[in-house]
Amino acid sequence: MSAVSMQVDTPAAQQGQRVIEGYAMGKTLGAGIQGKVKLGVNLQTGQRVALKCMDKNKMGRDRTRQMEMLEREIQAMESLQHPNILNLQHVTMSAQYPRKGTKGTKDVVLLALELAEGGELFDYLMHTGAFGDDIARTYFRQMLSALELCHNNGIYHRDLKPENLLLDANFQLKLADFGLAAVNLEMDTLCHTCVGTKSYMAPEVMARQGYDGAKADLWSAGVVLFIMLAGCPPFQQAAPGDWWYNAVRSNRHDKFWMAHLRSAPDFPKLAQEFLNLIFVADSSQRASIDDLWNHQWMQGRVLQEAELTEVMQEKNREVEARKEAELARAREIGRAHV
Ligand code: AMP
């Protein structure tokens, strides 16, 4: 049955609800460069999902690149099944997206993704500040476990950052957004493309050298861990003009920490030692995933699911309140300018 006929036939559609590929469409969850993400409900199972809809006609001149990104994302997500990697449940390369009212449909690529009810890790760091050692370790271990599977499958994420780390309803971490990933490289092949987000990029990626995708991902994971513990980033960018990076590059981690401890005095000592193994300019000397698993800091306390849910729920209330206040302020400013 086509999406259009489903729109007419299903009880959901009869009640005026928009339906796409068997999913009733709900509120907008967010928007990215590839298009809107909507809440969806599978009409057969009742399961809630995130519907990522990419308008093919809006891809413009960049269409080839965007389709490439999308294919990479699909290929990566289809080959990775892990409790800490966002699950791709359904793909339709050409779906009819019902516009509001009677304005017909538009042609989209549709991805139905596991719903991350807890939102982005970014929002928690932004609105509630740094995490304690135990929460940071719990999330770092989940992230490393997800990365290990990626790397064992020849997939390098290349854009690790708190915006791409989503949380499910129980606040378990889900690695998302594989649009910039390098897929199916032979294990010993180097990556050559300078992609990612500058403040998270490893120095060898910034320098546009051929690089080991696994070691580059670990650098970015280290930046995420630093932010979880300090509430601010470790470098502006890992390039020679950056004071913080220069300290690390010249093996003066003592200077790097002395300066950071002024604004983050509680940064745990063992976590500093752990990060010194990741913030190593020469990627061949940087710790491997195995080295990280075996480090003493990683053996510390980890929160079990129920405990993590409880503490994060509390933070979630604060995030929601702050976002709501921001929205109200923006509306206020909007009204003042009318
Ligand atoms: P993206 O295009 O992947 O960057 O997604 C844009 C926004 O949609 C994100 O910032 C999230 O707020 C939201 N979003 C994306 N994927 C999901 C998901 N699986 N569950 C819930 N919200 C999502």
CA distances from 64 to 58, 67, 247 (A): 12, 5, 41
> What is the β-pairing status of strands 35-42 and 119-120?
unpaired
More confident residue, 334 or 139: 139
CA of 243 to the centre of ligand 1 (A): 34
Which residue has its alpha carbon closest to ligand 1 atom 12? 30
Residue 113 CB–ligand 1 contact under 6 Å: yes
Banded model confidence at residue 40, pLDDT cuts 50, 70, 90: very high
Of residues 123, 159, 168, 217, which has the active-site annotation? Answer: 159
Q: Is residue 35 within 8 Å of residue 54, measured between CB atoms?
A: yes
- The pLDDT score that the predictor gives to residue 100 is 84
CA of 328 to the centre of ligand 1 (A): 22
Q: Which of 25, 27, 28, 29 to mutate to test the pocket of ligand 1 (most atoms within 8 A of CB)?
A: 29
pLDDT digits (tens, 9 = 90+) for 45-102: 999 999 999 888 887 777 887 888 888 889 999 999 999 999 999 999 999 999 887 7
pLDDT digits (tens, 9 = 90+) for 310-332: 999 999 999 999 989 988 988 88
Residue 177 CB–ligand 1 contact under 6 Å: yes
Most confident of 35-39, 235-239, 289-293: 289-293
Which residue has its alpha carbon closest to ligand 1 atom 13? 30
- The pLDDT score that the predictor gives to residue 2 is 33
- The pLDDT score that the predictor gives to residue 1 is 31
> Looking at residues 172-179, what average pLDDT do you find?
92
What does the alpha-carbon distance between residue 175 and residue 319 come to, in Å, rounded to a whole number? 20
Residue 37 CB–ligand 1 contact under 6 Å: yes
- The pLDDT score that the predictor gives to residue 6 is 38
For the CA of 177, the nearest atom of ligand 1: 3
Q: Is residue 236 within 8 Å of residue 244, measured between CB atoms?
A: yes
pLDDT digits (tens, 9 = 90+) for 109-157: 999 999 999 999 999 999 999 999 999 999 999 999 999 999 999 999 9
CA of 37 to the centre of ligand 1 (A): 6
The CA radius of gyration of the chain, in Å to the nearest whole number, is: 22
CA of 142 to the centre of ligand 1 (A): 19
Residue 50 CB–ligand 1 contact under 6 Å: yes
Burial annotation 107-140 (CB, 10 A radius, 16+ → b, else e): ebbbbbbbbbbbbbbbbbbebbebbebebbbbbb
How much of the chain exceeds pLDDT 70, in percent? 93
CA distances from 71 to 77, 81, 166, 181, 252 (A): 10, 17, 21, 10, 42
- The pLDDT score that the predictor gives to residue 187 is 56
Residue 91 CB–ligand 1 contact under 6 Å: no
pLDDT, the chain, mean:
90
The predicted model scores a pTM of 0.90
- The pLDDT score that the predictor gives to residue 104 is 87
Q: Which of 33, 34, 37 to mutate to test the pocket of ligand 1 (most atoms within 8 A of CB)?
A: 37
Residue 116 CB–ligand 1 contact under 6 Å: yes
Would residue 254 show up in a list of annotated catalytic residues for this protein? Answer: no
Residue 32 CB–ligand 1 contact under 6 Å: yes
What does the alpha-carbon distance between residue 270 and residue 224 come to, in Å, rounded to a whole number? 16
- The pLDDT score that the predictor gives to residue 3 is 34
Residue 70 CB–ligand 1 contact under 6 Å: no
> What is the β-pairing status of strands 48-55 and 105-114?
antiparallel
Q: Is residue 168 within 8 Å of residue 118, measured between CB atoms?
A: yes
